[in-house]
Structure formats: structure tokens, C-alpha cells
Amino acid sequence: MEEYRVKKVNEIKQTSITVHVPGSKSITNRALLLAALAKGESALSGVLFSDDSRHFLDCVQKLGIETKVEEDNCNVTVNGHGGQVPAKDAAIYVGSAGTAARFLAAFLGLSEGTHYMDASAQMRKRPMGPLLKTLTGIGASFLFEGQDGHFPFAVTGAGLLIDTSDNEKKRIDVSVNINDSSQFLSALLISLGAYAGESVIRVEGTHGMAYIDMTVRMMEQFGIKVQSENSVYKIAKQGGYKAKKYDIEPDVSAACYFYAMAALLGISITVSGVHEESLQGDVEFVHILEKMGCICEDTPEGICVSKPVNGILKGVDVNMHSCSDQAITLAAIAPFADTPTTIRGIAHIRLQESNRIAAICTELTRMGIRCEEGEDSITIWPGTPKPALIQTYDDHRMAMGFSLVGLRAEGIVINDPMCCKKTFEHYFDVLDEIVEKIQM
């Protein structure tokens, strides 16, 4: 499918619906690595199968870690090796998956052997340098084929994860700058959790700390506790990760498109299995919708978002640093608010799958919507979007987020919609089903 023409909703007959979304990409990929680092068999349920997670799973398999995959049932069984890599000289390809790129680079940088890592053209442009610098400081080495600090490269590991029963391991004390990506810190935390000695990570900068909270909480669920204070993270000598049965939450990032749809169309949408206590930081987007006037309730089935009491969507001024993946979602519904909306704390999204600040402003302008780009922000004014062919920049969130505009405006067409396969390959099928259901 080269283009997707969004169907404008002209008549609403059903005002309350329930939506099911796939498992969380962020939790799926963390769980795959944690299970690989544990010793023994872990059974993962609710697994997301998308381009990113399939790349991650393929890499794990190529590293010699046995898995049993039941894609139809969203289950994966992983036979972990206690932090060791069975295949000492494998070549892996991470595609455009940032989690696979950062998490597996740290894992291999701390392990034994020399491994070759490559990525998509998109991922080759994204930052890796701060993480690789930290790994080099503790004994890993990297041989770059092209630009230093970027894929592709060969990584020779420091051999620190061998013999995890040795209680005399030296203390590891490192620092990492996370201004470009919180995944650098998550990658180090997860792999150092399999180290037999004590580890200390000193953090410079700040970025997406909700994802760090997710990492720490999941490490604890797999048996490793992390202490943190004043940007210093400490992992004491412990017994390694424990294999377990683990149920992956529905993807809150995916749920947010449907919550935004509720706000746009003035209906109630419940996303099954999404609750306030979610590990995922994007649940904060629900509270942004509350500030815009929506009614939000955590029901036994899942969080339900309903239209504003007076039917008017309010403009907001919000810092989205902790839920920046939803900046595109908020930008897409902002033209339908009653006053301007300013999104702050998002300078780092220039370095994601696309330069998202530039992409948002370019596509809003294409639709005739006034917007202003700041160094760390975007301001969007109310307006009526004009028909437009929306470019997606090979960015799944641009494709899914900007499809929302077409539910209220005529003539919105999404170019290259299937880039959404990165995280939610059936998104447009689900969107069609919901639009049909609303109008039945």
C-alpha cells in the first residue's frame, strides 16, 4: 500500500467503543534481553510482533540463544544463558530498531567474542557514540566501517559477563551522557545487571527518564535491584537474573492514537488492558488530554477517554519530555483545539526516526496550519486543515499520528503508510474497523 486515504467521519452512531492494541514494543524488547540474560527458560506472553521486535528476536537467535516462537499466540520462550553469548562470532542486523541497536551493542560490548553489527540506513544515522564511548572505557573495542560512532561496526567484547558466579569481580564505575537517548543508560543497566560484581553508572544529561524507570522496574521483576540517587545508578553484587513467566502489557504508545481519536470525534474509547499503573511513560498523555478537557477514567477493562464535557477541546502548554513519542499525536489534534498549543521539552526528537520537529512543522504547514518551531518546542495554532498528501519520512509515528487529522478533515492522504510496521503493522486495518464501527 503506497498511500492511505483517511476516511473522514461524517456521522457518529456509536459513541462508545473498546479497542485492543498489540503488546508494548519497549517492554517486549527489554523482556527479550532480560530473558536472554537470565539462566534458564523464560516464557513471555503478549509479545509484540513488528519489524522492530522481529529484528531483536532474530539477533537473539543469531547469538545462539534458543527460542520457541508462537507468533499467532503472541508467545516466545527464551532459554537464557546467564549473560553468556553462545555464538562468539555472529553477525547481526538490527534494522531500524533503536532498542536492538543500543541494548545489543551494550550486551556484546560486555560479553566475550567479536561480533559484527549492522543496521538500516535510517539507524546508521542515529546517535550511538556516547554509549560506545562508555563501553570502550571498560574494555570493549569497536572497528567502524564508515563514520566513527555509527553502524556498521565489529565489536570485541570486554569479557565481563563470563563466570557470573565469581564474587571477586572488580567494581565497574562508568559515566554515560544520555542527552541524545535514554536507551544508552537502559542498555548499560540491563547488561550490567548480569555482571557478578558491583556496578555504578554516573549519568550526564537527561532524556526520557520514564523509560529508565521502566527499565529499572523490569530488572527488578527479573530479580535484579537497582538503587538510584542524584543521577547515580548502583547495582550491588547479586545472583543474576531469574528466568520467569512474564506477561507483556499492551502498548500505551499505540493506545494513545485511539485516545486522541476520542478527543477529536467526541466519543468514548476504552483501550483494553491499559491502566494507570502501567510501566510505560506514555500513559502521561492521558493526563494531557484531561488538561484539554477530556474525561479520563481507569475502569476494570482499561483506561477510558471521553469527550470534553462542553465539547470544546482546549489548547494546552505542556512539557512532553517524559512522553515525547506522543508529541506527533498531540500536534495532529492541536489544530482542532480552541486556542494555540505549545509542546515543550522535545529537542531530542530531532534525532529519532526522523527529525520529528521539522517533520511536524512541514506537514502542518502543508495542510495550511500555522505553526512555529522553537529550539525545544513547537507552537500550533487552531485552523481547518486543507487536503494534503502527508509525507511520513519512513517514521511510523508520523504515519499513525497524522492519520488522525483525516478523521476530521477532508482529503488527507498518508504516503508510505506501511512504515507503521516498525511497531504496529495492522494499525490502518484497526483504524478502518473503528471508523466503520463508529458510523454503523
Q: Which residues are catalytic?
A: 325
Q: Where are the beta strands (DSSP E) in 279-363?
A: 295-298, 303-306, 317-319, 341-344
364 neighbors 380 (Cβ within 8 angstroms): yes
Return the SS3 of 152: coil
Helix (H) or strand (E) holding 45: strand 39-45
Question: How many Å is the Cα radius of gyration of the chain?
Answer: 22
Residue type, 53: S
- Here the cell at position 78 is 527464551
Report residue 225: phi and psi, to 5°.
Answer: -95, 145
Residue with cell 498511500: 3
Question: For the chain, how long is the longest CA-to-CA vector?
Answer: 69
Q: Determine the number of helices (DSSP H) and then strands (DSSP E) in the chain.
A: 13, 23
Return the SS3 of 224: coil
- How distant, in Å, are the alpha carbons of 8, 53, 205, 325, 363 from that of 217? 41, 20, 21, 20, 37
- Here the cell at position 312 is 470544546
| CA torsion, ordered 186, 191, 193, 195, to nearest 10 deg | -150
Return the SS3 of 169: coil
Rounded-to-integer distance, Cα 119 and Cα 17, Å: 40
Q: Integer distance in angstroms from the first to the last C-alpha of the chain? A: 26
- Name which of 316, 363, 383, 368 is nearest 344 in CA terms: 316
Return the SS3 of 127: coil
Rounded-to-integer distance, Cα 53 and Cα 26, Å: 9
Angle at 107 between CA 103 and CA 108, to 5 degrees: 120
- Here the cell at position 440 is 454503523
Does 152 sit behind a cis peptide bond, omega within 30 degrees of 0 on the bond before it?
yes
